[in-house]
C-alpha cells in the first residue's frame, strides 16, 4: 500500500509486484490500483500542494493565494487534526514541510522551512503536538533545501536532498548532499555525502524510504538515459554509509524515449522482487505514468490517468498506525 498525490489530491494505492501480474500485458494496469481517495480533510476541498508521511500519519499542505491549510490525517482511524499556520502564502517564497516525532517525549512535530525572496531570508519554525504551539528555531544555514523535491521520514527524522549554499566567490560547482533534521534534538545534521558525483542542478535526484530502515537515492544525469538507485547500509542524522554495490543501474532509453529525463522521479523499491517503481509524467504526454524497472533491465509502463501540468506525482509507502490525533 502506498500514498500518492496526483492532480492535487491524495490517494491510497495498492501495488502488486507479483511477476505474473507485472509481466502480463493484459494485467499491466491491474498491478497498481486506486484503493481510496482522501476525503476526510474537512468540509472544504482544497488543492493539496504537498504531502509528507511519517509513522502512519499524513501531513497534507494546501497552499493557495487565499490561505494556507495544514491538516494531519490518520487514514486508519479517519481522524484529522487541523493546525493553524503562522504564515500565509506569498508567491515569492518557497516552502518545505516535514513531519517527525520526538523519541523522548513521544510527541509528533512539524518542521516548516521558508525561503523568502523579497526580502531574502530563511525562517525555520517547529510545531509541537503536545503544546499545540509554534516555536522559532535559530538556524544559520550554509546549505539550501531543494524544495521542489519532497523530503522523507526515517525513524522519526527527516531527510532531504540539499546543496551547498552558492557563493559568488566560489570557483567550484555546487555539491549536493543529504541533509537531516533530528526532531528529538530539534537540530539539522551535517551534510552527508551521496554515493555519486552530483554537480549539475539539471540532474534528477530523489530520495525514498526503504522499510523505515534505510534510504534509497535515485540519480539520473541530465545528459544521459542511465538511471541509478543506491541504498544506504547505515543511516543516522549525523552519519551515512552506502552499500558498495548499486541496487539498480539501467538505461531507460528503450522504455521512454531519446531525450527523456525524470523531473522529480518519486519512487520506491522492493528489494525482494528486485524492482523499482518510479512515478512521473509521460514522455511528451500529460499522463501520470508508473515505470516498473527491474534490476535485470526489464521495464514496464502503467498509465495512471491524465495529469495536471502543474502537479507532479509524489509517492511514499504507507503502513497503518494506531496513533491517536487528540
3-state SS, residue 111: strand
Higher pLDDT: 234 or 313? It is: 234
Higher pLDDT: 226 or 42? It is: 226
Does residue 45 have a pLDDT over 50?
A: no
Q: Are 302 and 31 in contact (CB under 8 A)?
A: yes
- For 160-181, write each residue's pLDDT tens digit: 988 876 554 445 556 789 999 9
The three grid cell numbers given for residue 252, joined into one nine-digit string: 531507460
Q: Can you say how many angstroms the Cα of residue 145 is from the centroid of all Cα atoms in its chain? A: 13
Q: Report DSSP letters for 142-204, one per residue.
A: SEEE-TTS--EEETTEEEEEEEEPP-TT--S---EEEEEEETTTTEE-PPBPPSS----TTSE
- Give me the phi and psi of 286, to 5 degrees please: -90, 70
Beta strands in 7-92 (DSSP E): 9-15, 32-37, 50-54, 57-63, 68-74, 79-83
CA distance 72 to 64: 18
CA distance 280 to 270: 18
- For 59-105, write each residue's pLDDT tens digit: 988 877 677 888 998 988 888 898 988 766 666 677 889 999 999 98
Give 127's strand partners.
110, 134
- For 99-148, write each residue's pLDDT tens digit: 999 999 889 999 998 877 666 678 899 999 999 999 999 988 888 776 65
Model confidence band, residue 187 (pLDDT cutoffs 50, 70, 90): very high
**48-57, 150-159, 253-262, 270-279: least confidently modelled range:** 253-262
CA distance 320 to 57: 8
Q: Across residues 38-57, what is the average pLDDT?
A: 73
- Give me the phi and psi of 307, to 5 degrees please: -115, 150
The three grid cell numbers given for residue 106, joined into one nine-digit string: 513521544
Give 133's strand partners.
128
Q: Are 93 and 45 in contact (CB under 8 A)?
A: no
Q: Are 139 and 181 in contact (CB under 8 A)?
A: no
Amino acid at each position: 500500500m502506498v500514498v500518492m498525490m496526483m492532480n492535487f489530491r491524495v490517494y491510497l494505492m495498492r501495488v502488486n509486484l507479483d511477476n505474473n501480474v507485472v509481466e502480463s500485458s493484459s494485467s499491466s494496469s491491474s498491478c497498481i490500483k486506486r484503493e481510496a481517495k482522501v476525503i476526510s480533510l474537512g468540509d472544504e476541498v482544497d488543492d493539496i500542494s504537498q504531502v509528507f508521511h511519517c509513522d502512519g500519519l499524513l501531513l497534507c499542505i494546501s497552499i493557495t493565494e487565499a490561505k494556507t491549510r495544514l491538516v494531519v490525517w490518520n487514514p486508519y482511524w479517519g481522524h484529522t487534526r487541523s493546525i493553524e499556520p503562522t504564515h500565509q502564502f506569498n508567491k515569492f517564497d518557497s516552502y518545505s514541510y516535514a513531519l517527525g516525532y520526538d523519541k523522548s517525549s513521544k510527541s509528533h512535530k512539524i518542521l516548516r522551512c521558508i525561503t523568502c525572496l523579497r526580502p531574502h531570508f530563511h525562517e525555520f519554525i517547529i510545531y509541537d503536538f503536545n503544546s499545540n504551539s509554534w516555536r522559532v528555531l535559530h538556524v544559520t544555514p550554509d546549505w539550501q533545501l531543494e524544495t521542489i523535491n519532497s523530503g522523507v521520514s526515517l525513524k522519526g527524522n527527516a531527510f532531504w536532498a540539499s546543496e551547498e549554499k552558492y557563493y559568488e566567490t566560489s570557483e567550484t560547482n555546487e555539491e549536493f548532499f543529504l541533509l537531516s533534521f533530528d526532531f528529538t534534538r530539534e537540530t539539522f545534521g551535517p551534510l552527508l555525502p551521496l554515493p555519486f558525483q552530483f554537480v549539475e542542478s539539471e540532474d534528477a535526484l530523489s530520495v525514498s524510504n526503504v522499510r523505515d530502515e534505510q534510504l534509497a537515492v535515485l540519480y539520473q544525469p541530465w545528459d544521459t538515459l542511465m538511471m541509478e538507485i543506491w541504498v544506504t547500509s547505515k543511516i543516522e542524522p549525523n552519519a551515512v554509509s552506502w552499500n558498495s554495490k548499486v541496487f539498480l543501474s539501467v538505461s531507460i532509453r528503450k522504455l521512454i524515449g531519446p531525450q527523456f529525463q525524470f523531473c522529480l522521479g518519486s519512487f520506491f523499491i522492493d528489494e525482494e522482487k528486485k524492482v523499482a517503481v518510479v512515478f512521473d509524467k509521460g514522455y511528451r504526454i500529460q499522463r501520470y505514468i508508473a515505470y516498473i524497472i527491474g534490476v535485470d533491465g526489464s521495464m514496464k509502463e502503467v498509465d495512471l490517468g491524465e495529469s495536471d501540468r502543474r502537479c507532479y506525482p509524489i509517492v511514499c509507502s504507507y503502513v497503518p498506525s494506531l496513533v491517536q490525533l487528540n
